Amino acid sequence: MADREVDFLLVGGGVASAHCAAELRRRGADGSILLVGREPEPPYDRPPLSKEYLRGEAAREEALVHPRDWYGENDVELLTRTSVTALDPEARTAKIQGGEEVRFGKALLATGAMVNILRVDGAQLEGIHYLRAFGSSDAIRDDVAAAEHVVCVGGSYIGAEVAASLTAIGKRCTIVEIEPVDAPGPPTTSL
Ligand SMILES: Cc1cc2nc3c(=O)[nH]c(=O)nc-3n(C[C@H](O)[C@H](O)[C@H](O)COP(=O)(O)OP(=O)(O)OC[C@H]3O[C@@H](n4cnc5c(N)ncnc54)[C@H](O)[C@@H]3O)c2cc1C
């Protein structure tokens, strides 16, 4: 016997789940919706993390997919700092952190992507950051405050955007990229 039942279980606290919840309501679904995400914040857009948020030009609130009140107003239960730890599609049950079992009618798996950790000597040293979440963007901004020269490992969208943002705030940046310099790069993006 499950501890509780919901009509829609949205696993993952990113944009996909946030838009799914909104779309369900927009299309008239009036069943219960539970959105479970392991980050401390409600779902937010990550693009500002390498752009205006990193440069200190935008606040966290501006990156939220929906304002904090939206979830209550739309009868969407939001669990932050919470992981889904097990899923049984046949029984239509999920375990959430803490051991509670949830029976669902339908589930969306929107657990997103993970950072590709660099496995090289020295990768554990201080001053090395990965960019993925609000906290990592904050850490980069704090750390570069005293830096003159920053090295970005990886020169696709995110590396190039970070280099452009840090250059814009007065830092010298070097991108280290595995591709040759004259390889076709990503299309130009506006910052
Ligand atoms: C710095 C940065 C800049 C970007 N800029 C752009 C851009 O300019 N344009 C663009 O199109 N895209 C950009 N992207 C990519 C874009 O952010 C992603 O495509 C988008 O975030 C994918 O959303 P998602 O909801 O599928 O997954 P995610 O954003 O990865 O969200 C999934 C969430 O689910 C959580 N989760 C995982 N497992 C569990 C679990 N078991 N239980 C509970 N929660 C779990 C994760 O912690 C995460 O919070 C950028 C990404 C980054 C990091």
Say if residue 186's pLDDT is above 80. Answer: no
Q: Which atom of ligand 1 is nearest to the CA of 161?
A: 3
Say if residue 180's pLDDT is above 90. Answer: no
Q: Identify the pLDDT of residue 136.
A: 96
Q: Identify the pLDDT of residue 1.
A: 82
Q: In the predicted model, what is the mean pLDDT of residues 23-28?
A: 98
19 lines ligand 1 (CB under 6 A): no
| Tens of pLDDT, residues 91-140 | 999 999 999 999 999 999 999 999 999 999 999 999 999 999 999 999 99
Q: How many angstroms separate the CA atoms of 11 and 4, rounded?
A: 16
Q: Identify the pLDDT of residue 181.
A: 78
CA nearest 115: which of 128, 96, 97? 128
| Tens of pLDDT, residues 42-75 | 999 999 999 999 999 999 999 999 999 999 999 9
Confidence of residue 188 (pLDDT cuts 50, 70, 90): low
Q: How many CB atoms lie within 10 A of CB 90?
A: 5
13 lines ligand 1 (CB under 6 A): yes
Q: Identify the pLDDT of residue 187.
A: 62
158 lines ligand 1 (CB under 6 A): yes
CB within 8 A of 90, min separation 6: which ones?
none
Q: Which atom of ligand 1 is nearest to the CA of 46?
A: 17
CA of 1 to the centre of ligand 1 (A): 33
Say if residue 77's pLDDT is above 60. Answer: yes
Per the CB < 8 A criterion, the answer to whether 88 and 94 are in contact is: yes
Q: In the predicted model, what is the mean pLDDT of residues 9-22?
A: 98
CB within 8 A of 188, min separation 6: which ones?
none
46 lines ligand 1 (CB under 6 A): yes
| Tens of pLDDT, residues 148-172 | 999 999 989 999 999 999 999 999 9
Say if residue 185's pLDDT is above 70. Answer: no
The residue type at 25 = R
Smallest CA separation from ligand 1 atom 38, residue: 111
Q: Identify the pLDDT of residue 85.
A: 98
